[in-house]
Structure 1
Amino acid sequence: MKRVFLDPGHGGSDPGAVGHGLKEKDVVLDIALQIRHILDKEYENVEIQMSRTTDISKSLRQRTNEANAWNANYFISIHCNAFNGKAKGYEDFIFSGLSDSSQSAKYRNIMHREISNGIALQNRGKKKANFHVLRETSMPAFLSENGFIDNHSDAALMKQASWRKKIAQNHVNGIAKALQLKKRTNGNQKSDSLYKVIAGSFQSKEKALNRISFLKTHGIEAFIETITLSGAKWHRVQSGAFSNRKNAEAHLKRIEKIGIDAFIIVLS
């Protein structure tokens, strides 16, 4: 079983790079969630964990500590760039203290080739840097910079759902080749259903926020999804969305163990 840790950069109070009506934290979260979905659906013997699945703040130390504690086999941090509005293109990084014969470098060679293929971005090459998430991870680590958000042409691509899907698929292609993942057979592919774990539904937003605070004291992330039923506004507390029902049920049990009644909503 291979363990892949996906780290969408920034989040919460830290928007990352901004430009042309876009925020880096939103673009990279969308890409990372799509990577997780494709890997989970199409490949066998792979587990995926993410540093964040919603718009929350998370320190660099938290990200690397979680990956190290989980004993991940590969750490992948996903970003967009910004500079002066004129710079553009794709580039990726490994830790500057590593040699070109390191496992991180070998994986990166595969990732770079796959990600840069057919994405309509200038190829700025393979680079090294002393970034925290590359330095403090105890497994091979990789960071992709998927275009410059302050560049007009790159940002125009980022706004396209089809382009973000292509970037996600190319990341998956690289991960699968680097880790030698095996594709599921047609009869063994997972469905496209999404399983949302709901840890309470309230008409009072204050009560919903209290529920989120309680969950966080137990290390469980959640957010509010506002819906309207029969003309009334409800604040659902959602804690995770999974393409695998067993994973959703395991998360449900974790919530129930702390005394909260929760349920699963299935979206097809």
Structure 2
Amino acid sequence: MKIIWDKGHGGSDPGAVANGLQEKQLTHKIVEYAMSYLEENYTGFEQRATRAGDQTLTLSQRSDMANAWSADVFVSVHINAGKGTGFEIYVHPNASPQSIALQNVLHDEILSAMRQFGNVTDRGKKRANYAVLRETKMPAVLTENLFIDSNDAKHLKNEAFLKAVGEAHARGVAKFLGLPQKTKLQPEPKPQQKASDKKLYRVQVGAFSDRKNAERLADELREKGYPATIV
């Protein structure tokens, strides 16, 4: 299965900017976390990002890349602006049933991950005639991960939040595609040492000229659970 991750904006187009944050940097981080999580936990797929670093790409270049590669899934990651709050996810108005299914599973995974960090508004599952949704030929969604210019920014400044959101994107795609999970290798148990292999150390407690004294000490040791032999 082939997965295309679209890091919204980039290069000369920073996207939304506010509160010391740039959308292009946040989308880069979220996608990188998503791709790493997939590599670590799943198999049976290939994945690419529309940009590796901070390149400038047109909308048509993004969809053309996905179409030329015959990708099975296209996920475009964005950060919202406009003083609002919350998470929303888009498909095209004429979306296929597969795109709607992808939207449903990603919506639930991402919102659940976000709410581990506090109350996050669910702005819902929406439709819009965005170019990357209109021009791509595979199931495609666009996520808007909170607002950069509102109180949401406190979450977007939290690296643990960005990581959780990226990993939720990955889990959603994996569920949609039915990707098999990697088998976790268990550490090999250390071989147990056989009693016959153990080195024994003997302790001499005392020596007596009178056998009765030796027997008395041996009895005391046996009462305390120690083996005692008179030689």
TM-score bracket, shorter-length normalisation = 0.7 to 0.9
- What amino acid does structure 2 have at the position aligned with 1:173? R
Choose the corresponding residue for 2:161, options 155, 160, 163: 163
1:238-253 equivalence runs, <5 A = none
Choose the corresponding residue for 1:94, options 91, 95, 98: 91
Q: Which structure has more strand as a fraction of its residues? A: 1
- What amino acid does structure 1 have at the position aligned with 2:183? T
C-alpha RMSD of the superposition:
1.2
Determine which structure has more spread, i.e. the larger CA radius of gyration: 2
- What amino acid does structure 2 have at the position aligned with 1:112? H
SS in structure 2 of the partner of residue 55 of structure 1: coil
Give the Cα–Cα distance (whole angstroms) in 2 for the partners of residues 107 and 5 of structure 1: 14
1:36-55 equivalence runs, <5 A = 36-55=35-54
Give the Cα–Cα distance (whole angstroms) in 1 for the partners of residues 95 and 102 of structure 2: 12
Give the Cα–Cα distance (whole angstroms) in 2 for the partners of residues 12 and 75 of structure 1: 21
1:66-145 equivalence runs, <5 A = 66-83=65-82, 85=83, 87-98=84-95, 102-120=97-115, 121-145=120-144
Deviation at residue 54 of structure 1 after TM alignment: 0.3
SS in structure 1 of the partner of residue 114 of structure 2: coil
More RCO (CA 8 Å, sep 6+): 2
Give the Cα–Cα distance (whole angstroms) in 1 for the partners of residues 3 and 74 of structure 2: 6
Deviation at residue 97 of structure 1 after TM alignment: 1.7
Where does the alignment leave 5 or more consecutive residues of structure 2 unmatched? 187-231
- What amino acid does structure 1 have at the position aligned with 2:112? N
Q: TM-score, normalised by structure 2?
A: 0.77
SS in structure 1 of the partner of residue 112 of structure 2: coil
Q: TM-score, normalised by structure 1?
A: 0.66
SS in structure 2 of the partner of residue 187 of structure 1: coil
Deviation at residue 118 of structure 1 after TM alignment: 3.7
CA contact (8 A) 2:113 2:168 kept: no
Q: Structure 1 vs Structure 2: percent identity of aligned residues?
A: 41
- What amino acid does structure 2 have at the position aligned with 1:48? Q
- What amino acid does structure 2 have at the position aligned with 1:186? K
Give the Cα–Cα distance (whole angstroms) in 1 for the partners of residues 176 and 64 of structure 2: 23
Cα deviations by residue, 1:160-190 (Å, 9 ceiling, x for unpaired): 11000110111111111111111100139xx
Give the Cα–Cα distance (whole angstroms) in 1 for the partners of residues 17 and 99 of structure 2: 29
1:183 corresponding residue in structure 2:
181
Give the Cα–Cα distance (whole angstroms) in 2 for the partners of residues 173 and 34 of structure 1: 11
SS in structure 2 of the partner of residue 32 of structure 1: helix
Give the Cα–Cα distance (whole angstroms) in 1 for the partners of residues 30 and 90 of structure 2: 18
Alignment length, in residue pairs? 182
